[in-house]
C-alpha cells in the first residue's frame, strides 16, 4: 500500500495564539459603602484587605479601577457574581469586563 507523507504546515505552527485576556473593572458609585466594596473584592477576587482597600479607593477617586485579568469566561462570571452580591443588598455596585489590547 502507498503511504502519503505530508510535511508539517509551517503556517499553522506560527498561527497559534494565546487567548486574549479580559479585564474586570470596578466602577465607582455614590451609594455602595466602602467596606462592602472591600468585602466583595476579598470574597470574589481573593484579595487581601490591603489590596482590596487600594482597588476600592482608586475606583472611588478616579471613577474606575482594573481589578484583575482573566480568560473571558472567568472575567464575566466574576464580574456578574460581584455585581449580584451588591444587588442582593440593594446597592448599585457595578463590575464590567473588557478585552485587553
Interface with ligand TYC (CB under 6 A): 26-30, 32-34, 37, 56, 59-60, 93
Among residues 24 and 70, whose Cβ is nearest to ligand TYC?
24
Among residues 20 and 34, whose Cβ is nearest to ligand TYC?
34
- Contact (CB, 8 A) for 23 and 66: yes
Nearest residue to 67 (alpha-carbon basis) of 43, 91, 31, 86 = 43
Distance CA 78, CA 70 (A): 9
CB of 7 to ligand TYC, least distance (A): 55
CB of 97 to ligand TYC, least distance (A): 15
Say how many residues make up the chain.
Answer: 101
Among residues 53 and 69, whose Cβ is nearest to ligand TYC?
53
Nearest residue to 33 (alpha-carbon basis) of 95, 84, 93 = 93
CB of 99 to ligand TYC, least distance (A): 21
Amino acid at each position: 500500500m502507498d503511504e502519503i507523507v505530508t510535511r508539517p504546515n509551517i503556517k499553522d505552527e506560527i498561527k497559534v495564539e494565546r487567548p486574549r485576556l479580559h479585564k474586570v473593572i470596578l466602577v465607582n458609585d455614590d451609594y455602595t459603602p466602602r467596606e462592602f466594596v472591600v468585602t466583595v473584592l476579598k470574597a470574589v477576587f481573593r484579595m487581601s484587605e490591603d489590596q482590596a482597600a487600594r482597588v476600592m479607593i482608586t475606583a472611588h477617586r478616579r471613577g474606575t479601577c482594573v481589578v484583575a485579568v482573566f480568560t473571558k469566561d472567568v472575567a464575566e462570571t466574576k464580574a456578574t457574581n460581584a455585581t449580584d452580591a451588591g444587588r442582593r443588598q440593594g446597592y448599585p455596585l457595578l463590575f464590567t469586563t473588557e478585552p485587553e489590547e
